[in-house]
Amino acid sequence: MNYSEVIPVRRVQAGAEAENVLDLRPRHAQATAEAENILDVRDLNVAFRTAAGTVQAVRDVSFSVRRGETLALVGETSSGKSVTCLGLLGLTPPAPYCTISGSARLGARDGKTYELVGTPERVMRQVRGGAASVIFQEPMTSLNPVHTVGAQICESLRIHLGMNTRAATDRAAELLNQVGISDPKRRLTNYPHELSGGMRQRVMIAMAIACEPSLLIADEPTTALDVTIQAQILELLQKLQSQTRMAMIYITHNLGTVAEIADRVMVMYAGRIVEQADVVELFTQPRHPYSRGLIHSVPRLHSNRARKTPLFAIPGNVPDPAAHPPGCTFGPRCGHFEPGRCDAAVPDLENAKPGHLVRCVRWPEIEGAA
């Protein structure tokens, strides 16, 4: 199967014969190849205490993000994508309700390096909104309904940059203009409910980039928006990233947006990384059965075969985080499951090739058969 056929990606126009050539080139490939790591995460674990016992939501996650690079986190709901990033910024419940272990080092623009795991809350207040920012999935539940959007943007500028009220207001208007909101000075006096969904999301982006963070985490920022606004938000994020050279973690389950915005992709399942690769490599040569299933599940909108072939779906559901199956957690849903081998132990994350990691004991055989 040619997996690149099922991904709705950008295409280049370079003559009639090249009309359908896939353009999956990373936007910042040359820049990121020699850039330093902005974020370096090692052996991150996030566990929650519940009435049923301790639930391990994120297990032994390690990755890095370079300056100017976009790393996409992909997976079904309950795969651990959002919890990974919330844990990094200390936005999970406090101990003992949630325990976080491992290491996560973040480099700020001022040259300081912060260890995010185990850092006191007073230091994390400086990191959040300053060195690292988050765009949440639903702005209506993230923005404060009793304060104007201008007041909420100015708050970050006053706390992190020490601006006075007038300077912060002027800067807030510049930010709204930068994210494409017309008549920004008037919009500063609006409350969140007076804005459309797309405008609220732009306000969230303005708040996130206000202090020029070195790392931006976008947690499914286009899920609640229509397709036209989604495209505008993606284009805006790419434009802002090219201007500020910030690193970005983009959390989503939409493979179409991944192909559009990502440089590298990290596929998560049941709290673990199961595959990590360059975006081109992942879409053209996925090696883990779960990654293959996700790509195979994308509707082939531009193929005649889509009208004759039922839409593929991965059987079963993501396992209960409190009761993972033995061995490979994807085993019960995998068509390549081999008893006694796949369920013997949790597979290691292996190097299939430089820069391409796979957590599967049978990936060489599966690749050879494909």
pLDDT tens per residue, range 73-92:
999 988 999 999 999 999 99
DSSP summary character for residue 182? S
- Report pLDDT for 307: 61
Give the pLDDT mean for 309-332: 88
Greater confidence, 18 or 234? 234
For the record, the structure tokens of 360 come out as 């599967």
Q: Structural domain boundaries of the chain?
A: 3-273, 282-369
The pLDDT of residue 302 is 62
Who contacts 183 (Cβ-Cβ below 8 Å, separation ≥6)?
Answer: none
- pLDDT value, residue 275: 96
Higher pLDDT, residue 27 or 141: 141
Give 23 or 123, the one with higher predicted confidence.
Answer: 123
3-273: which CATH number, 3.40.50.1820, 3.40.50.300, 3.90.1150.10, 3.10.580.10?
Answer: 3.40.50.300
Mean pLDDT of the 326-350 span: 92
Predicted confidence band at 10 (pLDDT cuts at 50, 70, 90)? Answer: very low
| Paired tokens of 25 | 């080139």
Flag whether pLDDT at 8 surpasses 70.
no
238-260, pLDDT tens digit by residue? 888 988 899 999 999 888 889 88
CA distance 213 to 133: 6
Average pLDDT over residues 11-36: 44
Q: Would you list the DSSP string of 26-90?
A: -TTHHHHHSPPEEEEEEEEEEEEEETTEEEEEEEEEEEEEETT-EEEEE-STTSSHHHHHHHHTT
Which of 185-199, 294-308, 310-324 is most confident?
185-199
Percent of the chain exceeding pLDDT 90 equals: 56
pLDDT at 29: 45
In angstroms, the CA 97 to CA 100 distance is 10
Identify whether the C-beta of residue 65 lies closer than 8 Å to the C-beta of residue 84: no
pLDDT at 305 over 70: no
Query: What's the DSSP call for residue 344?
Result: S
**pLDDT (0 to 100) of residue 313:** 87
pLDDT digits (tens, 9 = 90+) for 214-233: 999 999 887 767 788 888 88
pLDDT of residue 322: 85
> What's the pLDDT tens digit per position in 149-189?
999 999 999 999 999 999 999 999 999 998 889 999 999 99
pLDDT at 71: 97
Per-residue confidence (pLDDT) for residue 303, from 0 to 100: 57
Mean pLDDT across 2-23: 41
Q: 72 with 266: CB under 8 angstroms?
A: yes
Mean pLDDT of the chain: 85
Strand order in the sheet with 53-66: 53-66, 37-50, 98-107, 113-115
Confidence of residue 272 (pLDDT cuts 50, 70, 90): very high
